[in-house]
Chains A and B, each alone.
Chain A
């Protein structure tokens, strides 16, 4: 079942009189219960594509549909609040807060139905991702890189969204940790019926996904 669709996306930088296209008429769709990867080299436009899919930026042309509804109509802020979980390469956790506090933040922002005992939900979620309670109560800057990325994943899942978008989530991690994180994504897609889209430059990750795309010079194609 299709959850997210990009139609004829265009994105460019103005360079004097010329337009330098990052994405040119790019179209792609994603389904629930699948783990996707978008492969590309640095500067290929994969992060731009993710920023458009996550409504952190708006395209110069084309539309992004979430459950067949234009995310512009939903409202970018509302879409991020209720429909998508975003995971960044550099974790982007709030360093002065503990792991559990970081997970609690989106739960207070979203309008989705969240169980009343949010703290228990947050601890359980962290535990499920591999962060035990003793670590959950530590400030995140006292955790390792892998642990911080797990907290970031827990934060993305905390609002009970169906769509997870991740930008180079294993870019700062070693190989062992990378595999653990990819396993979590696969589990999310296959066991919890989420749609997980990961932007990466790693072939090893791409080959493990249900569907991989290659982005080259702003043009997206299937990657076998």
Chain B
């Protein structure tokens, strides 16, 4: 009858004590299991939502910091532009998969019609129409296509030569093409109109304009808006965003730069007062403004990327990444995660103390038995092993039972708590950012799911058994100090 067999016999022959130990481990196991379930679920939500938010990041003005400035400080502050060299420097960082910088401008057209949405044919237009958003690119394969915001359905993307030389080629949406019967290889004309605003009459007057002739080399179809159409079709914002995107025309940056330059030059010529003001401020080249966009290798890199880029930026600029938005939409999940962390720590400490105490009481009760083993010459290590077997076998059963019940309870409790938290949470002030998401707190709550998966099971068994092992080992010091003579004689 070796110490292993004695351990198993100890469990069956001391049924009452084994059941008490089982009950205590089961109750504490439920706490640990629940806390781990919630932590796992919240961490799954985080990676899932961050994955959906994507790995994009940009550099833009920190509006929160700007708001915090006093009026006097604001007057003294000069906001620098982000220059291309800095964008390229950031783009060369190891975290960046690929990057682009864009310059955009709005143009009108007399020869083609803009897309006005499925139900917006009767939209009344006031003043000159500037419906077409010409979006300049520097990254030839087009970042939006690479990131699956849109898909090229016909033709091709740009080549390096076209981007470098500013060749008059464009990629337009399929809907815009269908509306105007345009195909790959066709040309169309946009108007770069310069107009002034009459303060007295309130009317806009076209001063001059020039034609921009572009050749269609590719057609794209929106992906993100298409996916969500079913859910958001009643939302006016969706129609507006869709309309806006269908009228976007991708061209090389150089074309946008040249048209913007023309626009500003003509504007300054036509408005002397404005020209004088601009000259006084010395902002003759302020029309050239690029918005950078960096796609990182992994959403997890966002934090490290932000840390590395922040010192390179001019004053009042900040890095905004798609994953930043997680914090603003994941409030209830975050608070649940925090709570779970505290509960887990408390449960582990309580388990160590309570199980430790229970085992110590049981050992004191069995002091004579332990003394007998020692008097027979049994090695202390094996006596310790016997007790460990007794406790760990009961612990394994208790933990297995609480694996399921704790997981179930965690699902119920966290569901109720998150809904309550979501209902009481208040909306925060939002700023417009280049990186926008249509993911909401509802999406976060929907993706929250307490489930039994292999990593949860492994972590729970690991933490549970290790906690009980520690709480058993501490009172086992008692055995090492036992003197068989004092016990038995």
Binary B-proximity of A167-199 (CB < 8 A = 1, otherwise 0): 100000000000000000000000000000000
Q: Which residues of A contact B372 (CB under 8 A)?
A: 92-94, 105
> In the complex, which of the residues A79, A96, A101 has the most CB atoms of chain B within 10 Å of its own CB atom?
A96
A133 → B minimal CB distance (Å) = 17
Q: Would you list 15 pairs from A and B whose C-beta atoms are within 8 A, ordered by A residue?
A: A56-B375, A56-B489, A77-B374, A86-B375, A88-B489, A92-B372, A94-B369, A94-B372, A96-B9, A96-B14, A97-B13, A105-B376, A109-B377, A109-B378, A155-B376
In the complex, the answer to whether B488 meets A88 with C-beta atoms within 8 Å is yes
In the complex, the answer to whether A51 meets B9 with C-beta atoms within 8 Å is no
The size class of the interface chain A forms with chain B is: 20 to 34
Query: Which residues in window 110-150 of A have CB below 8 A to B?
Result: 110
A188 → B minimal CB distance (Å) = 18
A21 → B minimal CB distance (Å) = 18
Binary B-proximity of A80-102 (CB < 8 A = 1, otherwise 0): 11100010101011101100010
Query: Which residues in window 3-21 of B have CB below 8 A to A?
Result: 3, 5-6, 9-10, 13-14
User: In the complex, what residue of chain A is closest to B14 when comparing beta carbons?
Assistant: A96
B166 within 8 A of A: no
Q: Which residues of A contact B376 (CB under 8 A)?
A: 80-81, 86, 105-106, 109, 155
User: In the complex, what residue of chain B is closest to A84 when comparing beta carbons?
Assistant: B377
In the complex, the answer to whether A97 meets B488 with C-beta atoms within 8 Å is no
CA distance A50 to B1 in the complex (A): 28
Assess A105 versus B488: contact at CB under 8 Å? Given A86-B375, A97-B13: no
Query: Which residues in window 10-46 of A have CB below 8 A to B?
Result: none
Query: Which residues in window 36-64 of A have CB below 8 A to B?
Result: 47, 50-51, 54, 56-57
User: In the complex, what residue of chain A is closest to B6 when comparing beta carbons?
Assistant: A105
A78 within 8 A of B: yes
CA distance A57 to B483 in the complex (A): 8
20 further A-B pairs in the complex, CB-CB below 8 A; given A77-B378, A93-B372: A51-B485, A56-B375, A56-B488, A77-B374, A79-B377, A80-B375, A81-B377, A81-B378, A86-B375, A88-B488, A96-B9, A96-B14, A97-B13, A106-B376, A106-B377, A108-B3, A109-B373, A109-B376, A109-B377, A109-B378
A166 → B minimal CB distance (Å) = 12
A104 within 8 A of B: yes
B269 within 8 A of A: no
In the complex, the answer to whether A77 meets B379 with C-beta atoms within 8 Å is yes
CA distance A77 to B376 in the complex (A): 8
CA distance A195 to B283 in the complex (A): 113
CA distance A109 to B379 in the complex (A): 8
> In the complex, which of the residues B369, B376, B488, B489 has the most CB atoms of chain A within 10 Å of its own CB atom?
B376
Chain B residues engaging chain A, CB cutoff 8 angstroms? 1-3, 5-6, 9-10, 13-14, 368-369, 371-379, 483-485, 488-489
CA distance A90 to B487 in the complex (A): 11
CA distance A110 to B373 in the complex (A): 11
Q: Which residues of B contact A93 (CB under 8 A)?
A: 372
Q: Which residues of A contact B377 (CB under 8 A)?
A: 77-82, 106, 109-110
Query: Per DSSP, are chain A's interface residues mostly helix, strand or loop, or mixed?
Result: helix
In the complex, the answer to whether A101 meets B485 with C-beta atoms within 8 Å is no
A116 → B minimal CB distance (Å) = 14
In the complex, the answer to whether A56 meets B485 with C-beta atoms within 8 Å is yes
Q: Which residues of B contact A47 (CB under 8 A)?
A: 489
Q: Which residues of B contact A92 (CB under 8 A)?
A: 368, 371-372, 375, 488
> In the complex, which of the residues B6, B10, B14, B489 has the most CB atoms of chain A within 10 Å of its own CB atom?
B489
Q: Which residues of B contact A54 (CB under 8 A)?
A: 375
User: In the complex, what residue of chain A is closest to B5 when comparing beta carbons?
Assistant: A108
Q: Which residues of A contact B3 (CB under 8 A)?
A: 108
Q: Which residues of B contact A80 (CB under 8 A)?
A: 375-377
B375 → A minimal CB distance (Å) = 6
Q: Which residues of B contact A86 (CB under 8 A)?
A: 375-376
CA distance A94 to B9 in the complex (A): 12
User: In the complex, what residue of chain A is closest to B378 when comparing beta carbons?
Assistant: A109
Assess A56 versus B378: contact at CB under 8 Å? Given A47-B489, A96-B13: no
In the complex, the answer to whether B1 meets A57 with C-beta atoms within 8 Å is no
CA distance A18 to B444 in the complex (A): 78
A217 → B minimal CB distance (Å) = 20
User: In the complex, what residue of chain A is closest to B2 when comparing beta carbons?
Assistant: A108
CA distance A78 to B489 in the complex (A): 20
CA distance A167 to B377 in the complex (A): 17
In the complex, the answer to whether A167 meets B6 with C-beta atoms within 8 Å is no
B454 → A minimal CB distance (Å) = 39
Q: Which residues of A contact B13 (CB under 8 A)?
A: 96-97
Q: Which residues of B contact A50 (CB under 8 A)?
A: 489
Q: Which residues of B contact A88 (CB under 8 A)?
A: 488-489
CA distance A108 to B376 in the complex (A): 10
B89 → A minimal CB distance (Å) = 72
Q: Which residues of B contact A167 (CB under 8 A)?
A: 489
Assess A105 versus B485: contact at CB under 8 Å? Given A92-B368, A96-B13, A96-B14: no
A218 → B minimal CB distance (Å) = 17
Q: Which residues of B contact A51 (CB under 8 A)?
A: 485, 489
A103 → B minimal CB distance (Å) = 9
CA distance A50 to B489 in the complex (A): 10
Q: Which residues of B contact A78 (CB under 8 A)?
A: 377
CA distance A155 to B378 in the complex (A): 14
B365 → A minimal CB distance (Å) = 12
CA distance A201 to B210 in the complex (A): 128
CA distance A167 to B484 in the complex (A): 14
A73 → B minimal CB distance (Å) = 16
CA distance A176 to B29 in the complex (A): 56
In the complex, the answer to whether A56 meets B379 with C-beta atoms within 8 Å is no
